Chains A and B, each alone.
Chain A
Amino acid sequence: MSDSIQLLLFQLGARVFAARAENVRRIAGPSLERPEDGVESALGDPWDPRRGLVVEVAGEERTLLVDGVLGLKAVPDSDFQALPAFARDVLPTAALAGFAMLDEVATLVIDLPTLLREGKGAALAPSEETPRHA
């Protein structure tokens, strides 16, 4: 029997993401007492933040506000794929760990500690000016 990864699936905006369940200390909500504690991230903003994924980052708790938590799913290691090298090289965030194949759909697996450590600054992609002129 192959090893498996326990993933926590969550919705943020229109999209569903996954994260290693072991990285989530607890799930906050539905009435977040301090929604301002939520960290903005490269994933964008939730539409209606009803839950928070509480993660330990450098000894402190940080919260990613999400629209909902969909549940846990164990996937075999073989269903996990790293981000393609080119995509990894051009993305401003290191928080996209790879993909899990869930019902034949490539679902992004997020490295939550890295995402929350980076904050929203990683969402600001570098200049895309094409060097057309020599």
Chain B
Amino acid sequence: MARQERGSAGPDPASKGPVPGAAELDIWYFGVRLGEARYAFLAPLVTEVVRLGPLTRLPAAPTFLPGVFTHRGEILPVLDLSELLLRRAVSLRPGVRAAIVHAEPWRVAVVADEMEGLLHVPRRRVGPPPAGHAVRDFLQAVVPDDLGDIAVIDLPRLVAAARARSAPA
């Protein structure tokens, strides 16, 4: 499995390019770490990775929404992936990176303990989600590599579920 740190999703157009016929055999994920655990979601959801600017906290916000920040004149909500999945907040130290994702219909910035970046995975290595996983409701697949398993989550579904459970009645 290849790993590539970049600010955008998808194969690098400057690289040698995919082997003919390989496109349908491979999947690009975007990997993050939450504590020691590794998670990933589909890379095309990510539009860019940025350093998180000054955070404006929102009164009465749920814990998974630590605040908003301004990026190129746009105010984006920041979602704590660790809080959403594991109920343990990420330490938002200065300079922490955020992945800006488009989880229809919302555009949000996702933070985690660490950004691993792009992961290029042969489709044959993608396995079904195991029963009993801590976040199995949002798990799409599991990808093993030399560092251990990567849990692939359905990020749009996770964001929609967070929205649904927090929406005022």
Using a CB–CB distance below 8 Å, which chain A residues touch chain B?
15, 42-44, 81, 83-87, 89-94, 96, 99, 101, 104-108, 122-134
Interfacial chain A residues near B10, Cβ < 8 Å:
none
Interfacial chain A residues near B75, Cβ < 8 Å:
81, 83-84, 99, 106
Mark out the residues of chain B between 66 and 96 whose CB falls within 8 Å of any chain A CB in the assembled complex: 68-70, 75-77, 79, 84-85, 87
A75 to B102, CA, bound (A): 30
The answer to whether B62 and A90 have CB atoms under 8 Å apart is yes
Interfacial chain B residues near A99, Cβ < 8 Å:
56, 68, 75
The answer to whether A122 and B60 have CB atoms under 8 Å apart is yes
Interface residue? B147 (CB, 8 A): no
The answer to whether A85 and B106 have CB atoms under 8 Å apart is yes
Which of A44, A91, A123, A124 gathers most chain B CB within 10 Å? Answer: A91
Using a CB–CB distance below 8 Å, which chain B residues touch chain A?
54, 56-65, 68-70, 75-77, 79, 84-85, 87, 105-108, 134-138, 159, 161-163, 165-169
Interfacial chain B residues near A101, Cβ < 8 Å:
70
A105 to B56, CA, bound (A): 9
A107 to B56, CA, bound (A): 8
A19 to B149, CA, bound (A): 50
Interfacial chain A residues near B63, Cβ < 8 Å:
128
Which of B70, B79, B135 gathers most chain A CB within 10 Å? Answer: B70
A131 to B106, CA, bound (A): 20
The answer to whether B87 and A91 have CB atoms under 8 Å apart is no
Interfacial chain A residues near B166, Cβ < 8 Å:
89-92, 125-126, 128
Interfacial chain B residues near A89, Cβ < 8 Å:
163, 166-167
